[in-house]
Amino acid sequence: MNSEALWAQGAQQFQQIFGESWSKALQSLTSAEPAGLLPGAAPVQFSQAKLKALQQQYLHDAQQLWAQGLQAAPEVKDRRFSGDGWAANPVAAFSAAAYLLNARTLMALADAVEADPKTRARIRFGVEQWMAAMAPSNYLAFNAEAQKKALETKGESIAKGMQNLLHDISQGHVSMTDESLFEVGRNVATTEGAVVFENELFQLLEYKPLTARVYERPFLLVPPCINKFYILDLQPENSLIRYAVEQGHRTFVVSWRNPDESLAHKTWDDYVEDGAMAAIDVVQNITGAEQINALGFCVGGTILCNALAVLAARGDEPVASATFLTTLIDFTDTGILDVFIDEASVKFRELQMGHGGLMKGQDLASTFSFLRPNDLVWNYVVGNYLKGETPPPFDLLYWNSDSTNLPGPFYAWYLRNFYLENNLVKPGKLTVCGEKMDLGNLTLPVYIYGSREDHIVPINAAYGSTQVLPGKKRFVMGASGHIAGVINPPAKGKRSHWIRADGKLPATLAQWLEGATEHPGSWWTDWSDWLKGHAGRQIAAPKGYGKGPRFKSIEPAPGRYVKQKA
């Protein structure tokens, strides 16, 4: 069979299996003027050299697959098709192998587009989403494992899958875990403490000391308002909050309120002044400390950085040291999220909710899930609906599904001034709480942590903070991603972290890595040693929560705010 006949036959077969859009995209490889990569897309230009090489590679791989399929079921190395049902069914195995060949080719086709980097990234992202959705494993008609289970259970798996689908439709999101097994305050967010202050934006939690003596400088954690704080307190054995308390720090945490319509007018300034700055002031008042230590995680770190810059502009230095965990301060590199950001999209959000309204938590959660569609979307579609399985209990995924809203004015301002225009690193460009922002005024020592595989705050972006903050700095890189890299308790003995012993912070991460050394296990111990150096002397631990009638215990931790649903 010659190459033209093979191409025609393959295109016809793939059209029958996966639909017309597949074959149109593949036929673009042989067209002198290829069409758009996605159905309905405008025509795009390709590198002709890459296109020719890609065509030749596709023909070679298709010939091999065809020849192999005539003799035996092709071997497929992809966990979506790793079950016995796929290997035992030659037709299913061939459909999986054909899909992977087309997916690989289309990704290469996206990379061959001649366009600016952002356009190419958007095309690549669109192709990735399309390919993830088109996998034969996502459809009962092609999923050999789901068919096998349906036969073994005499159809019960299909009935259970329909029940799961109706349940998820009613709750508004795909179940990633058995959410009925978790309850905030009962088996997640269980570190003992009390709410000692609240306003309309947040509750301040103070935790019961676990040591007879505590450091004189209290410790305040500012988590992201885009998620709930208990990612830092999932279980006693992986709680960063409990770990800080065990190390002898008098620990306070901001628990952001889940906004409803009554907060739909709140702005970035409100979260800085009435959020982070108010929390710093309350902790000082309760403890009597002239200075405290503070930590910001993700968006909480950006809010904390803004608060510190506002305070510095006012001549105040209430924070002795700051820790920034997977935090964007310099927004030059925002990774895959950059595909969503341009003038038109930001302007749309400003018109839609810039003067009031809510960015729904489920919309945000869906966006983040589709950054990893195979792991966080289609994996559960297959398990829950095609196989009728109940996902196993997993505290982190329960937290991941516990979404939070954002006030529209806060969100729109954040998108423009940080993601689109990167104004925070431009001295005097940004005004927050009436003060001109200048990060050059932040001379306090800082600990900066970034995760190597983070897709929310790319490791280069985390490292970028070392170049815009002028004080004494320590940078540490951990393995894994945005959450798993941070929540890595020492007792588990998992993953690694990298430290540069000479303390040098060259211009780029690549240069820093040349002198960095890998250390097994958690970065928490290194951070704890660093924080103790800024915590002052030890004093007797307090016997109760808060201070006097103004900051008395309101209710037990974790409080009411964290239990509010979006």
Which of 323, 229, 320, 309 shows the shortest CA–CA distance to 283? 320
Which three-class secondary structure state does DSSP give residue 100? helix
Beta strand 446-451 with 319-325 is parallel
Is residue 533 within 8 A of residue 205, CB to CB? The reply is no
The pLDDT, as a whole number, for residue 463 is 98
Provide the residue ranges of all domains of the chain, joining segments of one domain with +. 3-152, 193-330+418-563
Phi/psi class of residue 100: alpha, beta or left (left: φ > 0; alpha: ψ in -120 to 50)? alpha
Q: How confident is residue 481, by pLDDT bands cut at 50, 70 and 90? A: very high
Report pTM. Answer: 0.90
Q: How far apart are alpha carbons 337 and 457 in whole angstroms? A: 9
Question: Which positions are annotated as active-site residues?
Answer: 298
Please state the rounded mean pLDDT for residues 463-470.
97
Upper half-sphere CA count for residue 341 (Cβ side, 13 Å): 20
pLDDT in tens, 244-256: 999 999 999 999 9
Q: What is the pLDDT of residues 274-311, one digit of tens each?
A: 999 999 999 999 999 999 999 999 999 999 999 999 99
Distance (Å) of CA 524 to CA 489, 495, 543: 7, 12, 27
Residue with tokens 């240069």: 511
**Phi, psi dihedrals of residue 338, rounded to the nearest 5°:** -60, -25
The average pLDDT across 119-140 equals 92
483 touches 454 (CB < 8 A): no
What token pair was written down for 189?
A: 């967010």
Residue 20 has pLDDT above 70, yes or no: no
What are φ and ψ of residue 223, in 5° steps? -80, 170
Rounded Cα gap, residues 52 and 151, in angstroms: 46
298, 482 contact by CB (below 8 A):
yes
Check pLDDT > 80 for residue 42: no
- Are residues 527 and 247 in contact, defined by beta-carbon separation less than 8 angstroms? no
* Residue 558 preceded by cis peptide, ω within 30: yes
For residues 365 and 1, the model is more confident at 365
409, two tokens: 């004015």
Q: How far apart are alpha carbons 340 and 333 in whole angstroms?
A: 13
| 62 or 476, higher pLDDT | 476
Q: Which of 492, 395, 388, 418 is nearest to 163 (CA)?
A: 388
Q: Find out whether 62 and 56 touch, Cβ atoms under 8 Å.
A: no
Query: Which of the following CATH numbers is that of domain 193-330+418-563: 3.30.70.260, 3.40.50.620, 3.30.590.20, 3.40.50.1820?
Result: 3.40.50.1820
Q: Kindly tell me if the per-residue pLDDT of 381 is higher than 60.
A: yes
Q: Which pLDDT value is given to residue 49? A: 87
**pLDDT, tens only, 395-430:** 999 999 999 999 999 999 999 999 999 999 999 999
Q: Which residue has the higher pLDDT, 34 or 42?
A: 42
Contact 390, 222 (CB under 8 A): no
C-alpha to C-alpha distance for 478 and 468, rounded to whole angstroms: 21
Sign of the C-alpha dihedral computed for residues 333, 334, 335 and 340 taken in this order: negative
Mean pLDDT for 478-489 is 96
Report the distance separating Cα 279 and Cα 202, nearest Å.
Answer: 9
**Residue spans of beta strands (DSSP E) within 421-556:** 431-432, 435-436, 446-451, 473-478, 496-499, 517-520, 538-540, 555-556
